[in-house]
Structure 1
Amino acid sequence: MMTLIEQPPLPLGWVPRMGEADYFVSDSNRAAVHWLSRPTVWPMPRCLILGPPASGKSHLAGMVAARTGARLIEDADRLDDGEPLFHAWNAATAERPLLMTGRVVPKLWAHRLPDLGSRLAATPVVWLPEPDDALLAAVLAKRFADRGLRVADDVIQWLALRIERRFTAAGEAVDTLDAVALAERREITVPLARAALEHQLSLEL
């Protein structure tokens, strides 16, 4: 009988891998990666990286910042105080460009500075959309690997065909399977995934 997990346990100190080799490029994010790899062709030394939760904004922005020396401000859309962001925007140069990450377009950001709003409206935007099939499978594999879990390819492919095509759905599935496998002291297999996700995510499997 499958043990139901009402609340998955908190991760036990696992740290996601954030190297360049750990970032998977597919058709859905290839244009964004290509644009960000060439800051010398940007129309200004500033760029916004926008995308849904868990879409790899921080991973990609961190790679670009490390490679270019850019200043990085994450979750810029949530900053109530716009003054530091305003000064960072003005201080950006070709030698030290500015990268900002967020989830929504600048007109919806939390700050209330008209001068900053006009600057952000003119700033180039790179969008990271929800994943295609190849990227969803890669995200699932990475999330399992980040936790030190060895999961066979058939499980990854089975999941990628059945969960919603959202980055957060991948995280939810991995959280659930990790918790159930730990509680049951079983390996993560297709039968376990089928039983666990049928209950936890209400999928039509």
Structure 2
Amino acid sequence: MSGGQIALPFEWPADPRDDEFLVGESNARAVQQLEHWASWPVMTLVLTGPRKSGRSLLARIFAAKSGGTMIDDAERQPEATLFHAWNSAQEAHRPLIVIADAAPPEWTVKLPDLRSRLAASPVARIGAPDDVLMQALFERQFLRRGLDARPELIQWLLARVERSHVALLRAVDILDQAVMERRKRLSIPLAKATLTEASMIIDPAPTLPFEVP
């Protein structure tokens, strides 16, 4: 694995049953906010981020370590349930993580009492993965599938796969299937042919010409 990442983000002893959560620039601030939950103005935090970004995993690790609770896909839950959970967290002084695609007002909340409570809650945001985190995620996903991904292949993918968790996982799934079906080793030519066919290749950033002073 590359530098610039942490296996588990918390200072508490790691539980061997925990999945690995990788930390990069895009999620380090959110991790820090969870680590310092005792300083939240209220005992509820809204955690937002792209799908497949590890937001649910991060919340599960936090809840297990802190004794708190979490509500996933909050926009799809009954607002009365969220309202009572928010109040219970304050009464018990146990942290609650509310996971959503976006925080209010982007997430439309109809119940006025819930809307005011969520407005008072801090928000932690996970962003799109940076290059270091993308590389670490590629390495982990290939390792989990038993695929021999050479460093030059991963660098090639970094320049051509969309910077998103969903795109990364889809690219790895497609390449895994291609290796099995074609009975070929994982390589740049195989990746180029397979991902081009799947319309997953983006143009790499142009290289500026060398200027002679």
- Name the TM-score class by shorter chain: 0.7 to 0.9
List structure 1 runs of 4+ shifted beyond 4 angstroms.
Answer: none
Equivalent position SS for 1:162? coil
Per-residue Cα deviation, 1:46-82 (whole angstroms, up to 9, x for no partner): 1011011111101111111111011111111222x21
What's the counterpart of residue 86 of structure 1?
Answer: 83
Q: Which has the higher contact order (CA 8 A, sep 6+)?
A: 1
RMSD: 2.1
Q: TM-score, normalised by structure 1?
A: 0.82
Residue of 117, 142, 155 corresponding to 2:140: 142
Indicate conservation of the 8 Å contact 1:78/1:110, yes or no: no
Per-residue Cα deviation, 1:166-197 (whole angstroms, up to 9, x for no partner): 11110121121112112112222222111111
Alignment of 1:127 onto 2:143: no
Indicate conservation of the 8 Å contact 2:46/2:103, yes or no: no
- The CA distance in 1 between the partners of 2:104 and 2:144, in whole Å, is 32
Indicate conservation of the 8 Å contact 1:36/1:64, yes or no: yes
Give the letter for the 2:119 counterpart. A
Per-residue Cα deviation, 1:77-107 (whole angstroms, up to 9, x for no partner): 222x211111000000464210111112223
Give the letter for the 1:175 counterpart. D
Indicate conservation of the 8 Å contact 1:46/1:124, yes or no: yes
Unaligned runs of 5+ in 2: 1-15, 205-213
Report the more deviating stretch, 155-164 or 138-147. 138-147
What's the counterpart of residue 9 of structure 1?
Answer: none
What's the counterpart of residue 112 of structure 1?
Answer: 110
Per-residue Cα deviation, 1:120-153 (whole angstroms, up to 9, x for no partner): 1211000001011111112222233343434333
Deviation at 1:163, TM superposition (A): 0.7
What's the counterpart of residue 210 of structure 2?
Answer: none
What's the counterpart of residue 163 of structure 2?
Answer: 165
Equivalent position SS for 2:98? strand
What's the counterpart of residue 18 of structure 2?
Answer: 19
Aligned 1:159-198 pairs, distance under 5 A: 159-198=157-196
Report the more deviating stretch, 120-129 or 134-143. 134-143
Report the more deviating stretch, 101-110 or 81-90. 101-110
- The CA distance in 2 between the partners of 1:124 and 1:146, in whole Å, is 35
Give the letter for the 1:34 counterpart. Q
Aligned residue pair count: 187
Identity of aligned residues (%): 40
